């Protein structure tokens, strides 16, 4: 199994995603060129085939970075919550300290008693 993903600044990924969703041809071409039909789906490890959906995940190791992953048509058709659950399972397997979806918001080390800390 080969897990394919690309790292990019989170703000850029979100902006490109919004442009692609709005129908911007340049943004759609960008996403269409990221992965090939031979890449493995990030959530089920099967081949993504011709229907590739791009999933954006906040990088648990680098604040402000995103990971773009290919998702096959079958996984993309799953309910959004189930797709997130499966992607989280994969992310936890790849990065054991991955705790919650927005992992860069998790304070490092043991929580301290007393005043609450701002985490985001």
Residues that bind Zn ion (CB under 5 A): 41, 44, 72, 75
| Closest CB 29 distance from Zn ion, rounded Å | 23
Q: Closer to Zn ion at the Cβ: 62 or 88?
A: 88
| Closest CB 76 distance from Zn ion, rounded Å | 8
Q: Closer to Zn ion at the Cβ: 75 or 90?
A: 75
Burial 52-76 (b: 16+ CB within 10 A, else e): bbbbebbbbeeeebbbbbbbbeebb
| Closest CB 74 distance from Zn ion, rounded Å | 5
- Taking the C-alpha atoms of residue 115 and residue 120, their distance in angstroms, rounded to an integer, is 15
- Taking the C-alpha atoms of residue 83 and residue 88, their distance in angstroms, rounded to an integer, is 9
Q: Give the number of other CB atoms < 10 A from CB of residue 93.
A: 10
| Closest CB 43 distance from Zn ion, rounded Å | 5
The two tokens of residue 39 are 């890449």
Q: Closer to Zn ion at the Cβ: 61 or 89?
A: 89
Q: Closer to Zn ion at the Cβ: 10 or 87?
A: 87
């Amino acid at each position: 199994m080969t897990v394919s993903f690309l790292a990019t600044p989170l703000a850029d990924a979100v902006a490109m995603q919004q442009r692609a969703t709005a129908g911007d041809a340049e943004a759609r071409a960008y996403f269409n060129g990221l992965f090939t039909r031979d890449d493995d789906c990030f959530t089920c490890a099967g081949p993504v085939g011709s229907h590739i959906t791009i999933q954006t995940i906040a990088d648990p190791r680098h604040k402000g970075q995103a990971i773009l992953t290919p998702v096959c048509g079958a996984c993309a058709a799953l309910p959004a919550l189930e797709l997130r659950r499966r992607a989280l399972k994969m992310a936890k397997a790849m990065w054991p300290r991955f705790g919650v979806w927005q992992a860069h918001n998790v304070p490092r080390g043991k929580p301290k008693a007393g005043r609450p800390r701002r985490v985001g």
